[in-house]
Each structure stands twice: as structure tokens, then as C-alpha cells.
Structure 1
Amino acid sequence: MANQSLLRIAKDEDIRNLKALILGTPGSPYEYGFFEFSVKFGPDYPSKPPKVDAKTTNNGRTRFNPNIYAGGKVCLSILGTWQGELPGEEWSSAQGLESVLWSIQSLMSNDPYANEPGFEGRTTDEDKKKNDAYCAKIRHETIRIAVLQKLEHMFGIQSDGSLAKPADLEKWHSDTSDSEEDEGEDGKPKIKWEPFNDWQKRRFLWYYETYLNTIEAEAPKYKEGDNFEVMPFEGGSNTMSGTFQYVQLGKRLLRVKEVIQQETANWAKDGLIVKQRDSSKAYAMQGQFNVVKHNQTNGGIPNIDLELENDNPFVWIMTYFGRPESNLDGGVFKIRVSISVRFPEEQPRVQVVTPMYHHRVSKDGILCYQANKPDEMKNHIQMIVHAIEEECPPYDPRTIVNPEVAKLFFGSADDKKKYNRSQRRSAQDSLDFAE
């Protein structure tokens, strides 16, 4: 998918300081977790490597990998924080930030137990059991810390599920921050710089079913409150200790989803407010709509229609007519495009309101797509249609938001036939839904 990567990099005002986000590798115990790292380039870069610290550590209490410490240290020969055994493993000025991040991501595998020196290459039954036990607690803590804790912190969701009051949010964020912020020149704490919030919210909605499936698959294996198994290389404060709490994780997962959905609904209210104030943002978004609408009347995308909901320039209603000779031929689907008044910093959230059987559409109708030009709504509309109509996309687990349907789409010939039949049926049923 265009511009869709497992790595995200954001620059602060000081170009020597970066934040990087690594999306946990699909299919691994780190699956779709949001792992943040700080990267600082010294004056001797590129002759020497940057300093990289892990920030997704549960306030220094959780070691996510033998090579990613609870205190934030990342042990890699390429960073000079570990002595490599083979030539070429050390840092060279020809290497860059992306090679560092790919090296870190390679640690997040299905065999993290083997990353500990002395344990690599061991294949005894006992070692396999240890690796399985290690993966089990990483899988749990990825959802708890690298997904839920991050989203709960963004919204101020407290332990009882309530939201911190606006007046208390600043203190809430200060008390629950996963890392200390540097002081500014005036000695006061700097405002926390959060470049990845919207990116993580959108992907939470995309991968909600995967998180839920993991909880449902793992919960029967452990009693609520069972202790994590301690690994031979864990000790002191550099551990991943805790208990299995999958029942609670399921409740928290649902609560985060509800809060994001409410935020999306509030975007419509915000849009009407800025419109009533004759805001330049409202004029700009109305202008983007007019451009796309004019393009439609002059031979644009042939099988869609666009209107504004309640004359709100921040809520676009797309009617998608199934492309002729496709599985969706004859179908009529209503799609709501919700736009934030902070667009393009916050990207649109798209829901297919009419049930559509599609591997890029979640059970809740969330559409997974990526705009090539994120600041142009015309491109968003184009890429929404492209995501729906692409017939032979390459397999990319990052675009799978409906695992059950995607299994058929990318499965055997018989599976694909089942997929095609179900999709054609959804096109037929869409006519009844529209009435």
C-alpha cells in the first residue's frame, strides 16, 4: 500500500532529535503494537551511530526483548551498544537511520528468546517451551502496553473507564507519561511532542479485529491472574513481570474503540461550529468539496456520487455504485467520510455504512486505505475507490482489517470462490439496505 510502512519517523524542531515508531511485525507476538523510540544524533554523526532509546517500556518497568531493556537501552552492534561477532556488524558511516530501525524491528520476531547471547540456535524442547512462554507474555504486554496504554493515555481514559475532565488532562498526561520530558530554556517542562497520535488511532481501528482475535484465542489458555514465566536472562528491574489479564484487556479494548468512535462523531459537531463562525478552515474544506464535486460532474470517478451531510463541509457522504462486471456490480453503498477540523494533521476516518463484504473493510465498516497526497481530499476519494476496486493486490498483512474475510480472499481457489459469492451477495443485499 502506497506510503504504508512499518516505520514512522518524525522530526522535532531540533533536527538532531527524532522520534521513531515501529509497528509490531504482523504474525509475531509484537503484532501491530506501537513501539516508540527516541533517536539523537551527536556532533560526530555519521562517523558514529545515533543514540537510540526505547520509550515503550511501561515507565521503565517492562523489558520487551532480550535486546530492548526496560531502562530503554537498545543492544545492537550497529549502535555500538553490543559487541558483534561477525565482520560488518558494526556501525559504518554508509549506514543510516532506516537501517538502524530495520535492525531493531528484526529483533521483534517469533523467536525473541534466541536474541539473548548463549540462547541463539538452541532447539531443545525446553528451549522451545521457554520461547513459547516468552512469546505468550510479550503478546499480552504488547496489547496492554504498546496498544491500550498508549491510546488510554491519549484520551485520558482512567482505570474505571471514565475520561479525565479537561481541566485534569494536563495533570493526567504528566502523571501517566511513559518518559520524562526535557526542560525548556525557562526551566519549565516542554510541551510533550506527540507526532504519532492520529496515526495510531487510525490503525487501532484498522487492527481492532486482530487485537480482539488475539484476546479471544489466548484468554482460554490462562486463568485471570496467572503469573508470567520468568526467563533465565531476566533479573532485577530488567524484566517483563506481570500476570495474564485477558478479560480486563478485552473490556479496555472495547472502551478505547468507543472513545475513538465518539471522537469521530464529535468531528461533525466541531465542523458545524467552525462553519457557523465563518472559519477559514470551513471555507477551505468547502472549497475542496466543490473541486471534487465539479470534477465529478465533468467525468471524474464514474461510479460515485458525493453530498455533504447536513450541509457540513467536514462530513462527506459518498454513494458508491458497484463497478460493472465486478462482484459489486449493481450494489449501492453509502460511505461516510468524517473529516477533522485539524485536517490534514488528523486524517479522515472512513466508514462503509452499508454492509460490504470486503477484505479491506472491517466488520464495523472501517475502510483501510492510504492517500498518496494526504492534504488533498480529491486524492482521498480516489484512494478510497481504489481500495474497494483493486482486484489483485499483493498480499500485505498491514492492510488486513477483516482477518476472516482476508483469509478467503488470499486463500485457495475454493476460498476465493466463497469470497466472490459473499461479495456478490453483499451487493444484492445493499439494495434492501438502501430502502
Structure 2
Amino acid sequence: MSSNPYENEPGYENANSQHDKDNQKAYVLKIRHETLRIAIIQRLEEYLGLKADGTSIVREPRDEAGGDSSSAYVDEGGVYFFEPFKDLCKRRFLWYYDTYLASIQAEKEKVTEGQAFVQMPFEMSGGSGGNSMEGKFNYPELERRIQNIRQKLDAEAEGWGVEGMKAFKDERGVAANLQRQFEQAKVFFDKSETATLDMELEDNNPFIWRVTYFGRPMTNLDGGLFIFTVRFSVRFPDEQPRVQFSTPMFHHKINKDGIPAYFPGGLHPRPDDAKSHIEGVISLLEEEDPAYDPRTQINIDASKLYWGTKEEKREYSKQFRRSVQRSIEYA
């Protein structure tokens, strides 16, 4: 397979005329536009019950047995079951949100709004057998829709706290479970010699954990104080928590909105163990020589410096240390 999608079409493997080269560029342009529109935006809008204009699709409320009104739950014959892939897509969208916006800004400079897609010689229009990718470029529209998705996801996570407090007052099992996990995690970290942090519940809500991590002495984090919030859903662990730093960080695995690209950590990492999520975030902060993982490079500027030349790596270290030194200002 070629990295040039035009060359992957049968009969066009070695097409190198000037006309073909122009088509190759045009083909890539519309593929990028439609990948954002269909694979990312339309998918998330469907999951979140959003229309293209940003308004919400009205759904019938679900009973207590069904769990909730989350679009990650699917109705099949009156029985609601959880689709973990939808939850994963939401979390990955939050990871790559800055990257999507940067792609939109870069691509819209290459085309004119309303410009029609160029039809390729191997595309055929009309009929049920047509394979033509037809349409027009409209990056401002994609930008607006992607921002609507982000706002909806933020509102969804905020709503977890309200749902959680109700579950706590109703003495539901998930609330008791998270309360117990919080108490156990607090004892664990109080006794731990590997990390220094403070944990508290926001407004005594076991579904919102506020964590303050103190940078270890004699490390690049020395003198730093970093605050992040872990929000849990009443569907936990089916629906995984969402973590966000309120302390600005210049880090190649933390995007500009403070969302870290982490995986559950600890000796025995488990997605159903709340402590594993805390350990995963700490591991992300403390790792000194991480292997390159393209999935987690979610801060574009920081990643370019971190994986760049020696001079760029030194610049990364300077900006990282500067953010550590300033972290106390946001406590």
C-alpha cells in the first residue's frame, strides 16, 4: 500500500503525468476534509445526539433500569447495553481536539470555501453503483461543529457530578463503591513513598476527585504543584473517568486544555480501579525516557520540540521547567 491514496487505486499505481500529480493533490485534499466530517464529526454528533446545526436531538428519557440518558447506551428490544467503543471515541476526541482544530486551520488555507471537490478519473457519479466522492469544502462549518462537540462533551462530564450526587443521596451501589475506592486510594498514597499527593472530594461528591500532586525533589518536577480533577460517571467502570489538569502544563502528553493522554497505571493496572487512573497520570508526569507512542503526542508544539533535534529538546526542557516553576501560581 502506498501512502499516496491515489496510487492505491487499481490501474493508477504508476500514474505520474502532470495531470495525475494534480489529481493526487486534489484527492488528498478532499479525503482529509471528508475524514474529519464523516469519521470524526458525524460519528461524535451521532453518539452525542447532536444535529449539524448544533441543536440536540430529543430522545425519550430512560428508566432507572436502563441506566441513564447517555448516548453510549443502545436500545435493543427494550434492553439497554453499553457500547464501550463510543466511550473510547469520546475520550480520544478530547485527546486530539487541538490536533483536529490545527488540521482545520492548516487545510482551509489550501482551498476556497465552497470550492467543489475534483472528480477523479476512477470515480463514477450517479446510480446505486456510483463511487464518486462529491461535495464542497467548508472548513468553517467543520470547525463550528467540532467546537459544538467539545462543548457537549464538557457539559456531559459536568453532568456526571450532578448525577453522581443524586446517586450518592439515593445510596446507590456505585456511589458507595467510589466512596470506598477514594478512601482506600487516599490511605495508599498517604503511606506511599513513591508519590506525594493530596486528594479530596469536591463538595463531598465521590464522583469528583480533586488531586494535588507535588513534584519530587531532585527531578524536573521539583518545586511543582499540579492540580487535576478526575470525574467519574455513574456508569463507572463501563464509562471511564475523564481527567483534566487545572494547572497549565507544557508537556507532550498533555494538551493545551489540560487533558492528559494516559493509561491506567500501577503494579496491576485495571480500568475498574480508580487508583490505577491516578497512578497512570502520575506515571505520565514522572516518566523520564518514554518510548515514542504516536497515540499520546497530543500537544503539537511540545511534541515537535520533545522529539526534535538536540536544540529543540533543550528548548522543550526549558519550557517544561518554566511551567513547573509557574505551577505554584495556579494553586
Shared fold (TM-score greater than 0.5)?
yes
Asked if 2 retains the 8 angstrom alpha-carbon contact of 1:157 and 1:163, the reply is: yes
Deviation of the 1:192 alpha carbon: 8.9
Q: 319-328 or 335-344, which moves further after superposition?
A: 319-328
1:228 paired with 2:143, answer no
Deviation of the 1:402 alpha carbon: 0.8
Deviation of the 1:305 alpha carbon: 1.6
Aligned partner of 1:428 in structure 2 is 325
2:54 aligned to which of 161, 165, 168:
161
Equivalence map 1:388-399=2 (5 Å): 388-399=285-296
Cα 1:310–1:200 shift into 2, 3 Å? same
1:352 aligned to which of 245, 251, 275:
245
Consecutive unaligned residues in structure 1, runs of 5 or more: 1-106, 170-180
Equivalence map 1:200-239=2 (5 Å): 200-236=89-125, 237-239=130-132
Tell me which amino acid in the other structure corresponds to 2:277: H
Find the aligned partners of 1:310 and 1:242 in 2 and give their Cα distance. 50
Tell me which amino acid in the other structure corresponds to 2:319: S
Find the aligned partners of 1:207 and 1:255 in 2 and give their Cα distance. 15
2:224 aligned to which of 331, 341, 353:
331
Q: 294-303 or 320-329, which moves further after superposition?
A: 294-303
Consecutive unaligned residues in structure 2, runs of 5 or more: 63-73
Find the aligned partners of 1:394 and 1:126 in 2 and give their Cα distance. 42
1:297 paired with 2:186, answer no
Asked if 2 retains the 8 angstrom alpha-carbon contact of 1:110 and 1:135, the reply is: no
Aligned partner of 2:163 in structure 1 is 270
Find the aligned partners of 2:273 and 2:18 in 1 and give their Cα distance. 55
1:382 paired with 2:285, answer no
1:416 aligned to which of 292, 313, 331:
313
Aligned partner of 1:48 in structure 2 is none
Deviation of the 1:303 alpha carbon: 2.0
Tell me which amino acid in the other structure corresponds to 1:277: D
Listed one character per residue, the Cα deviations across residues 369-389 of structure 1 (whole Å, up to 9, x for unaligned) are 012411111211111111111
Tell me which amino acid in the other structure corresponds to 1:198: D
2:88 aligned to which of 199, 219, 239:
199
Equivalence map 1:102-113=2 (5 Å): 110-113=3-6
Aligned partner of 1:317 in structure 2 is 210
Aligned partner of 1:140 in structure 2 is 33
Find the aligned partners of 1:232 and 1:168 in 2 and give their Cα distance. 49
SS of corresponding position for 1:307: strand
Deviation of the 1:302 alpha carbon: 2.3
Find the aligned partners of 2:304 and 2:95 in 1 and give their Cα distance. 16
Aligned partner of 1:49 in structure 2 is none
Find the aligned partners of 2:148 and 2:182 in 1 and give their Cα distance. 33
Aligned partner of 1:255 in structure 2 is 148
Deviation of the 1:328 alpha carbon: 2.1
Tell me which amino acid in the other structure corresponds to 1:355: P
Cα 1:417–1:121 shift into 2, 3 Å? same
Find the aligned partners of 2:239 and 2:88 in 1 and give their Cα distance. 8
Cα 1:368–1:223 shift into 2, 3 Å? same
Asked if 1 retains the 8 angstrom alpha-carbon contact of 2:53 and 2:145, the reply is: no
SS of corresponding position for 2:107: helix
Tell me which amino acid in the other structure corresponds to 1:216: Q
Deviation of the 1:299 alpha carbon: 2.1
Aligned partner of 2:67 in structure 1 is none
Aligned partner of 1:60 in structure 2 is none
Find the aligned partners of 1:350 and 1:310 in 2 and give their Cα distance. 17
Find the aligned partners of 1:325 and 1:135 in 2 and give their Cα distance. 48
Aligned partner of 1:15 in structure 2 is none
SS of corresponding position for 2:243: strand
Tell me which amino acid in the other structure corresponds to 1:141: E
Asked if 2 retains the 8 angstrom alpha-carbon contact of 1:301 and 1:382, the reply is: no
Cα 1:432–1:136 shift into 2, 3 Å? same
Find the aligned partners of 2:157 and 2:80 in 1 and give their Cα distance. 25
Deviation of the 1:191 alpha carbon: 7.2
1:364 paired with 2:261, answer no
Deviation of the 1:189 alpha carbon: 9.8
Cα 1:203–1:425 shift into 2, 3 Å? same
SS of corresponding position for 1:320: strand
Asked if 1 retains the 8 angstrom alpha-carbon contact of 2:94 and 2:259, the reply is: yes
Asked if 2 retains the 8 angstrom alpha-carbon contact of 1:360 and 1:402, the reply is: yes
SS of corresponding position for 1:196: helix
Listed one character per residue, the Cα deviations across residues 154-210 of structure 1 (whole Å, up to 9, x for unaligned) are 1111232111223399xxxxxxxxxxx9xx8xxx79979744110000000101111
SS of corresponding position for 1:268: helix
